[in-house]
Amino acid sequence: MKGLLIICMFLLGFLMVISCSENQDFDQIDDLAIVPSYETSIFYVKAQETLINRVAGLNFFTQDFNFDAFEEPFFTERVVSGVLTYELENTTSKPIEIVLEFLDTNENVIDTEVFSMDPAPTSVLSRDVAYGPTGKSLDIIRTTSKIRLTAVNLGDNSSESNIPDSAIELRSSAQFTLELQ
């Protein structure tokens, strides 16, 4: 009787082991698609209204920013899409215009973004610019070497906002999606 119980337990254990297993598919790695996203800040510019009032002429700020995101071949060959995000806030008494020029290594303009904003009080202006299949050509970003920012005062040089610490602030960031396989 004891021998029969041992045989039944062994048989039950053996059936449980083989009934719960299936053939393993080690080729699943071929079906795996890894598509990471990378996010980074591009630039942050803040110009106080007192500074704007001291500058004669329309252009009160011009600066070039290096844009070396696509210098690395690993990144350039694998990027599939991207979004540049801009936030512009104007708490000054002046209407302003911001012009961003995307320049290649020979300083040729390959794309332009223009932002116009009324004097305060205004809400924050947000803009997402897509590159890739659902937006502008990725070649614009791939060939950009510098971004030139020019800020233009469309108002006077004497008025002052009643908002404390009035300024113009422009923030930008980028998010890129890569395909690793």
Domain boundaries, the chain: 34-178
pLDDT tens digit sequence for 116-150: 999 988 889 999 999 999 899 988 988 888 999 99
What is the model's pLDDT at position 28? 63
Q: Is the dihedral of CA 55, 96, 102, 69 positive or negative?
A: positive
Q: For strand 146-153 and strand 167-178, is the pairing parallel, antiparallel, or unpaired?
A: unpaired
C-alpha span between 178 and 35 (Å, rounded): 5
Q: What is the largest CA-CA distance in the chain?
A: 107
Burial group, residue 147, by CB count within 10 angstroms (0-12, 13-18, 19+): buried
C-alpha span between 128 and 87 (Å, rounded): 9
Fold exhibited by the domain 34-178? Jelly Rolls (2.60.120)
